[in-house]
Structure 1
Amino acid sequence: MRLFARLFLSHLLVLLVAEGTLLLAAELLASGFFRHHVDEMVRLIGPRGAALRPDLEAGMRGTLTGALLASLPIATLLAALTALLASRRVVRSVQLLERGSREIAAGHFERRLPETGRDELTDLARSFNRMAASLERVEESRAELIGNVGHELRSPLAALRGYAEALVDGVMTPEQAGTAILREVRAMDRLAGDLSAISRIEAGRVELHPVDFSAADLLRAAFERFEAAFEERGVRLELRAAALPVRADFERSLQVLSNLLSNALRHTPPGGQVSVRVRGGRGEVRFEVTDSGPGIPAEHLERIFERFYRVDAARSRQAGGSGVGLTIARGLARAMDGQLTVTSGPQGSTFTLRLPAGV
């Protein structure tokens, strides 16, 4: 049976039960209501009034019953119309939801339901619209990701084709071509690894091992990893360590800090400086990585942590950036109950990694 028929019959059933209850109650309780009036009539009639009492009571009961029976068709009709309208409204909302769900299943994530009213059906429509908006964002993100991955793969694949053709034509020696091909394969392998990391982070499947460690130990490990790279580029690396306790995954924290230092080195010209300062307070430890590069324009700050977003796409790709490093860094920071933020100006940028303080 269709929903409309079930709702309508349910309303009618409730109506019939109510009418039957009303008639039964009237038969049982009516005499108690008009007894006083019968007594008054008997008193006014006089000595013959006592003999007429049964007729008077029967007449009043019959009149009341007749009035109730006469009003039942009208009440039933009005109640049926009300039930019809109420059932149609509920069914119409359910039908809209059903059509919207079918369109969402077909991939039309822009579909929205009207949010008129203040009842539970409106709340349901509002929840449906929020779900549709979330799915629309996911679909846009998926399409953007596919496009970005295709774009990122296009450059190394084109390079591989060029090296292969140069090798076949004898323009490059096998050693030269092999070195160049290996470089491009490593770039593709790095991109695949970064995409896998993003997938695990966004799915909440990152394995973490929180421990208490000193912020100075983390900076020391980062310095040992990047000392040679900074010297080779001619950029000064300054560390202002403090022995503050941190509660986080040491290796993941080092991965985030390494990403920030690599990013700062890539955007700081030779002769510039990158400094790392540690501050504490309010139950957290802050690692501030500041570079003396050109800074990030204000219109790019809101999107700097998006996947594959680059302020200067050409320079980042030539320098080896995959465009997802900051996305991974922020995801790891949040997974460790921390946060990663950025401020920037003409004199450079500052990335701040916040991690929970240890004991």
Structure 2
Amino acid sequence: MCVTGILTIFTTLFLSEKISKPIKKVSEFAKQIGDGDFTRSNMEFEDKELDELLKVMNKSAEYLDKYDKEQKIFFQNISHELRTPLMSMMGYAEAIKYNVMEKEKACNIILEEGDKLKDMIEELLYISRMGSISEELHLSNLDLREILSSCIESKQATAVNISIELICDFDKKPVMYICDEKSLRRAFLNIIENGLRYAKSKMYITCKLINKDIVIIIENDGENINDKDMPYIFQRFYKGDKGKSGIGLSIVKSIIEKHKGNIYCENTNKGVKFTIIFYNLNML
């Protein structure tokens, strides 16, 4: 009886050690990830559930490592983008102070640079809210042609100044959709601004109802997007060879998807085409 009891104790201790040891290793790996070390683990376990858990944790570590690197690159880029208008504003302010430049001209440039800075800060604030559960859309049944027309009108002066012609092709009848006007306007403006940056002479903006789907096309006649950049242009923090800050198009994608739509980008013989589709008049 005594021998049996001793054997039972040793068996229990052995099994406990066998079970607790791999769990302790997994726990240490989780702490390592929590401390910001995303090095993947090459441990293997006989237990199928633990082995599956480790695979999931390695996948999470890989994602976090990628996100961390992208974020560092993004902040390097954005610090440069924020510094550029600030330095310009300071330079023209000094020009006014020492009377080395016409005051009105310098003030206009300072205001323009201030607007750029404000836009970048607003995009940073928006991207910080992307994916937030608390973010609410203020929905109304609106004519998308009117939202696009308003965006085009606000960028008309910019287009004229850089000799870009904005060519519109809208349905004659209203193209109604339940949407958040403010956020959808931001998405359209971001694509139009992106197109103006690369267009050579023309941009084409289409808004039509096709077989109950709303199709919006914004196309520019600029250079094609590099093949290596194309798969990543909507990815947050990704900045291609000629990209600006790595924010704008990720915001566009987020907004369109929140409105139950999809956005695609492709190179064409004309240049680059963005296509937004709200399928079968989806209502939010």
Q: Which residue of 1 aligns with 2:177?
A: 246
Q: Which residue of 2 aligns with 1:194?
A: 123
Say yes or no: does 1:95 pair with 2:18: no
Deviation at 1:274, TM superposition (A): 1.5
Aligned 8 A contact 2:232 2:238 in 1: no
Partner secondary structure for residue 137 of structure 2? coil
Structure 1 residues 178 and 225 mapped into 2: Cα distance closer, same or farther (>3 Å)? closer
Greater share of helix = 1
Structure 1 residues 170 and 308 mapped into 2: Cα distance closer, same or farther (>3 Å)? farther
Deviation at 1:258, TM superposition (A): 2.7
Q: Which residue of 2 aligns with 1:57?
A: none
Deviation at 1:208, TM superposition (A): 0.9
Say yes or no: does 1:325 pair with 2:248: yes
Q: Which residue of 1 aligns with 2:15?
A: 86
Q: Which residue of 2 aligns with 1:16?
A: none
Q: Which residue of 2 aligns with 1:51?
A: none
Say yes or no: does 1:124 pair with 2:53: yes
Partner secondary structure for residue 229 of structure 2? helix
Q: Which residue of 2 aligns with 1:64?
A: none
Q: 1:269 aligns with which of 175, 200, 221?
A: 200
Aligned 8 A contact 2:164 2:196 in 1: no
Percent sequence identity over aligned pairs? 22
1:224-279 Cα offsets, whole Å, 9 max, x none, are: 44455545534141213264442322343233223222322332223x34131424
Uncovered stretches (5+) of structure 1, i.e. residues with no partner: 1-68, 317-321
Q: Which residue of 1 aligns with 2:260?
A: 337
Separation in 2, partners of 1:183, 1:231: 16
Uncovered stretches (5+) of structure 2, i.e. residues with no partner: none
Q: Which residue of 2 aligns with 1:237?
A: 167
Q: 1:354 aligns with which of 257, 277, 280?
A: 277
1:285-336 Cα offsets, whole Å, 9 max, x none, are: 22122222222121111222233624424xx5xxxxx552222211111122
Q: Which amino acid aligns with 1:327?
A: S
Which one has more relative contact order, counting CA pairs under 8 Å at least 6 apart? 2
Quick check: 288-297 or 224-233, which moved more?
224-233
1:117-173 Cα offsets, whole Å, 9 max, x none, are: 343322332333333334323422432332222221232233344335545655335
Deviation at 1:216, TM superposition (A): 4.1
Aligned 8 A contact 1:290 1:349 in 2: yes
Deviation at 1:76, TM superposition (A): 5.9
Partner secondary structure for residue 232 of structure 2? coil
Deviation at 1:342, TM superposition (A): 0.6
Separation in 2, partners of 1:244, 1:156: 38
Q: 1:260 aligns with which of 184, 188, 191?
A: 191
Aligned 8 A contact 1:295 1:345 in 2: yes
Separation in 1, partners of 2:159, 2:105: 28
Deviation at 1:183, TM superposition (A): 3.1
Q: Scaled by the length of structure 1, what TM-score is found?
A: 0.65
1:168-190 Cα offsets, whole Å, 9 max, x none, are: 65533555544433333332222
Q: Which amino acid aligns with 1:330?
A: K
Q: CA RMSD in A?
A: 3.2
Q: Which amino acid aligns with 2:125?
A: S
Deviation at 1:92, TM superposition (A): 1.4
Aligned 8 A contact 1:214 1:246 in 2: yes
Q: Which amino acid aligns with 1:194?
A: E
Partner secondary structure for residue 183 of structure 1? helix
Residue-pair matches, total: 279
Q: Which residue of 2 aligns with 1:309?
A: 239
Partner secondary structure for residue 108 of structure 1? coil
Quick check: 216-225 or 322-331, which moved more?
216-225
Q: Which amino acid aligns with 1:237?
A: I
Choose 1 or 2 for highest CA Rg.
1
Q: Which amino acid aligns with 2:167?
A: L
Q: Scaled by the length of structure 2, what TM-score is found?
A: 0.80
Aligned 8 A contact 2:195 2:203 in 1: no
Q: Which amino acid aligns with 1:246?
A: Y
Q: Which residue of 1 aligns with 2:87?
A: 158
